[in-house]
Chains A and B, each alone.
Chain A
């Protein structure tokens, strides 16, 4: 079956942590995308007021095309920050699927870091400034190979998506009711989500 028209998904919005963004690949028959798929934000420090917020406000504007929803794009975040010695160490990895239904979506995702195997390794890595990290952060977007990793979850990042889809209904796909969840706009996270 040949699908003449393609599915495409535009997304733009802001990201609130210091971090690099990678948009996971859509590994299907004909992948094409426009816009930057990877980016690195500025370095931000906590605000001085009571919110203690970390704001990047990083713009993302990307279009994907595919013939099959399998392998729907995910956004993978890696957050880095300086430790007490001034080295840049990884503070968290996180991933979330780009929302499937058109509209505005606000997602707060948890961030986790790989944990050292032993207390000695933990101390050595703290001292030397070389913490355990993934060689390829895209591992976070996959399910395979995760069962042997031990991680520590610490912190959250908030993302705001505006999603537009094209020709999904024409190809027979039903994405359900558009759910905007009454999201008003970018705002810093108010404490913990749960």
Chain B
């Protein structure tokens, strides 16, 4: 079986209007993939940047997959939330990116979006907070039923992932 190691960090995020941000992340794979070691999902710390506007998380990612097929290549899905001084959390954006398929170190910039809602909900979000959220998280990384959504863009999440592939050439896969 071929193996894939994903080693890297969720470095941080820029371009969000709120400042105290954290990220809930997860990796979704197809049926042919098996996670041998590492945690498949997690949540970063809450960071308030003092210099500049980039919130830094430096959250380590270390995953070891074994796979029998190329379908369902791992996808990293992210939810960026902001936390205010009272401890309430508000959604800032959803995003996903495929784990790179070529070995080496990659800098990834993952754009995010959030559902917009009606003008009443937008007004409420501006004053009170809250706002619509997705009921099922799989809409973040799947294309089905996206046409129903009306969204606006959020900021960008920056990741640095290094990929180590093993035995892919044995199966004739070029990457």
A residues in contact (CB < 8 Å) with B: 68-72, 74, 94-97, 99-101, 109-110, 112, 115, 140-144, 146-147, 149-155, 171-177, 179, 192, 194
Q: Which residues of A contact B167 (CB under 8 A)?
A: 172
Q: Please determine whether A110 and B58 come into contact, CB atoms closer than 8 angstroms.
A: yes
CB-defined A-B contacts under 8 Å, sample of 9: A71-B37, A110-B11, A115-B48, A143-B44, A150-B46, A150-B47, A171-B166, A172-B170, A174-B166
Choice from B5, B60, B169, B170 contacting A141 with Cβ under 8 Å: B60
Query: Does the CB pair B56–A153 fall under 8 Å?
Result: yes
CB pair B51 A154 closer than 8 Å: yes
Please provide the chain B residues from 42 to 79 with a CB less than 8 Å away from any CB of chain A in the complex.
Answer: 42-52, 54-56, 58-62, 64
Are B7 and A69 neighbours in the complex by a CB distance under 8 Å? yes
Q: Is B14 an interface residue (CB 8 A)?
A: yes
Q: Known: A95-B60, A153-B55, A153-B56. Is A143-B20 also a contact (CB below 8 A)?
A: no
Q: Which 4 A-B pairs have the closest CB atoms?
A: A176-B104, A176-B103, A147-B43, A110-B56
Residues of B within 8 A of A101 (CB): 104-105, 162
A143–B104 touching, CB < 8 Å: no
CA distance A68 to B164 in the complex (A): 11
Q: A152 touching B47 by the CB < 8 A rule? A: yes
Cβ 8 A contact of B162, one of A97, A151, A155, A192: A97
A174 touches B162 (CB 8 A): no
Whether A173 and B164, one on each chain, are in contact in the complex, defined by CB atoms closer than 8 angstroms, is: yes
Whole-angstrom distance between the Cβ of A104 and the nearest chain B Cβ? 13
The reply to whether A152 and B50 contact each other, CB–CB distance below 8 Å, is yes
B102 within 8 A of A: yes
Q: A177 to chain B: which residues have CB within 8 Å?
A: 104
For chain B, give the interface size range: 35 or more
Closest to A139 in B: B45
Q: Would A146 and B44 count as touching, CB distance under 8 A?
A: yes
* Residue B12, interface by CB 8 Å: yes
Write the B137-175 contact mask toward A (1 if CB under 8 angstroms, else 0).
000000000000000000000000011111111100000
CB distance from A14 to the nearest CB of B (A): 20
B87 to chain A, nearest CB (A): 9
Write out the residue numbers on chain A whose beta carbons fall within 8 Å of the beta carbon of B46: 149-151
A residues in contact with B105, CB < 8 Å: 99-101, 176, 179
Contacts of A71 in B (CB 8 A): 37, 62
B22 within 8 A of A: yes
- Give Cα distance in the complex from A115 to B163, angstroms: 33
A174 touches B168 (CB 8 A): yes
A-contact 0/1 string along B12-46, CB 8 Å cutoff? 10100000101000000000000011110011111
Contacts A97-B8, A109-B58 given; indicate if A151 touches B47 (C-beta within 8 A): yes
Q: A101-B104, A152-B50, A179-B104 are in contact. Are A173 and B56 (CB under 8 A)?
A: no
Cross-chain contact A172 with B162 (CB below 8 angstroms):
no
Would you call B133 an interface residue if the criterion is a C-beta within 8 Å of the partner chain's C-beta atoms?
A: no
Once the chains bind, are A152 and B45 in contact (CB under 8 Å)?
no
Whether A149 contacts B7 by the Cβ 8 Å rule is no
Bound-state CA distance A71–B103 (Å) is: 18
Closest to B2 in A: A172
Q: How far is the CB of A116 from chain B (nearest CB, A)?
A: 12
On whether the beta carbons of B164 and A194 are closer than 8 Å, the reply is no
The answer to whether B58 and A140 touch across the interface, beta carbons within 8 angstroms, is: yes
